Each structure stands twice: as C-alpha cells, then as structure tokens.
Amino acid sequence: MNIAKVINNNVISVYQTDGTELVVMGRGIAFKKKPGDKVDETRIQKVFALKNKQTSDNFKMLLREVPMDLIVIVEEVINDAKHNLNRKLNENIYVSLTDHINFAIERYREGLEIKNALLWEIKQLYKEEFAIGLRTLEQIKQKLGIELPVDEAAYIALHIVNAEMNEEVITTMSITKFIQQIINIAKYHFKVDFDEDSLSYFRFITHLKFFAQRVFKGNHYENNYDHLYDMIKEKHKEAAACTEKIGTFVKKEYGHELTNEEKLYLTVHIERVVNR
C-alpha cells in the first residue's frame, strides 16, 4: 500500500485496488514521507472510508488543522452512536461533528460560551442522543482537560439527529422546535403530562419527527383514508379534536394543510400516548 497524498505528519490518503480512497491516520505515519512511498502499516491507528468525494475532501481539509486526539474522540462518539442507536448515520457527520467540537473548544479557550436555546427540548426529545453528547463531554474533559458546558451536549445530540435524518442542523433545530409545539398542544388539550419513558410516547415522537420532515419539505401523505378517518374520529373524539387543533396550528404557522390520512395517523398516536 503506497501513499497517494500527504495531508500532515499524522494523516495520509491511499487508494485501494478498486480505486476507493481511504484516509489513514497514525502518529508520524507521514513523517519525512512523500506520495508514492510505501505506507508503514505498523503506524496505522485509524482508517476512514468515506464514499462521498465532497465529504472525503472536506474531511481531509479538516484533518490538516484538527488535533489527532480530537479526531479519535469524534470517531469514538460516532461509533458509540452507531452501536447504541442501531441506526445508519449520514457520513457527513465526520465533517460536521469534528468541525463543531473543534470550534467549541476554540470558543472555550477564548472564554466565549454560546447557549443552546433548545437545550430543554433536546434533552426531552432526543434522550439517547443527548446521553451520547454527555459522554462526549466527559471524554473531552478526561482526554483533553477541557470542560465544555452542557449546552454542547445538546449541540452534539443535534448533529447525531441530523445524521439520522439526513437533514441540515438548522433544519433539525426547526424540527425540534416544531415537535415540542405539537407536544405542548396535546398536553394542554388533555391537561396531562405524558409518560416519556413509555413505548407509546417513543412511537409518538418518532411519528412527529417524520411528520415534521414532511411539513418542512412540503410533502403530504396521500388523501386515501377519508372514510377510515371518519370512523376513527367517531371512536376517538377527543384525540381527533386535538388533531384538528394541531392541524389548524400547522396550517396557520407553517402553511401546511394536513390531509385526512395524516390526521388519521396523528389521531391514532395521540390516542395511544394519552390512554396507554
């Protein structure tokens, strides 16, 4: 295996026989090396195989300026998320999360702290991702001696959610706000607090995530269930009334009109989360 590009003393790129580019990291792996030289495989510590060329190029640019210790932490965070969430993540998280944490550390050193306005919502809606964010802060504290504020755990959680949803972080923040608004409407309508550890609540939140994506992308379910929605409305009158209230809010605030099929699914989830 020969060096294709030298990125810095600790990072190189190589090409496999099928033409796939790999980013290879190891302390001193490129010291006094040049393209074409044989790779010292005993120095390899990490190998990254990013399929998207733009993502790979952006990651290589970041690696020129980001300390190796931080890259190791980011990879551990991503592996933690993949293992514990058991979900596919968009590979752009290698770029976005590395860049964010590196910038957060720079801000910390300059004495600047940015509050996360959605901290409470993120803690409530993305508990698993937030827990990973907290573990990341602990790793940074232990390995780099830097104690970042809890707001950063929420930002890290957002990057993970973003990678799960294939959305931009700003869109994920809007989706988070939207979900909390819908939950609040349901809570005030029924005058109850939901059991946030229940399976029905988890399903409700999952449904709202995809519902929010459709709203922000202007997509709709087809309108094929008018008769079934009429039946559900009759059977679950309060849940349906809550759904109609949500529909009015979403149309007014987001310009998205719910089809009866969307109302059907929303009513079923509301009924479950309120009465189970």
Sign of CA dihedral 27, 45, 163, 124: negative
The string of pLDDT tens digits covering residues 174-230 is 889 999 999 999 999 999 999 888 878 888 988 898 889 889 888 776 666 678 888
Exposed, middle or buried, 205 (CB in 10 Å: 0-12/13-18/19+)?
buried
Which DSSP symbol is given to 51? -
Residue range(s) defining the domain that contains residue 2: 1-49
Handedness of CA 194, 80, 60, 101 (dihedral sign): positive
Looking at the structure, do residues 84 and 181 belong to the same domain, yes or no? no
Domain boundary among 145, 166, 187: 166
Q: Please check whether residues 34 and 139 belong to one and the same domain.
A: no
Residues 6 or more apart whose CB falls under 8 angstroms from that of 167 comprise: 175, 213
Q: Is 180 in the same domain as 115?
A: no
| pLDDT (0 to 100) of residue 128 | 93
Computed over every residue of the chain, the mean pLDDT equals: 88
Write out the chain's pLDDT in tens, 276 residues.
888 888 888 888 888 877 778 888 888 888 888 888 888 888 888 788 888 888 888 888 888 888 889 988 999 999 999 999 988 898 889 988 999 999 999 888 888 878 888 898 899 889 999 999 999 999 999 999 999 999 999 999 999 998 888 777 778 888 899 999 999 999 999 999 998 888 788 889 888 988 898 898 887 766 666 788 888 899 999 999 999 999 999 999 999 999 888 898 899 999 989 986
DSSP-based three-state secondary structure for 53: helix
Q: Domain total for the chain?
A: 3
Question: Looking at the structure, do residues 29 and 71 belong to the same domain, yes or no?
Answer: no
- Determine the pLDDT at residue 223: 66
Token code pair at residue 123: 């803690």
Q: Say if residue 155 is in the same domain as residue 179.
A: no
User: 125 and 44: one domain?
Assistant: no
**Confidence (pTM):** 0.72
Q: Are residues 120 and 145 in the same domain?
A: yes
For position 126, which CATH number holds? 1.10.1790.10
Q: Which of 104, 136, 166 is the last residue of a domain?
A: 166
Looking at the structure, tell me whether residues 189 and 254 fall in a common domain. Answer: yes
- Do 61 and 7 share a structural domain? no
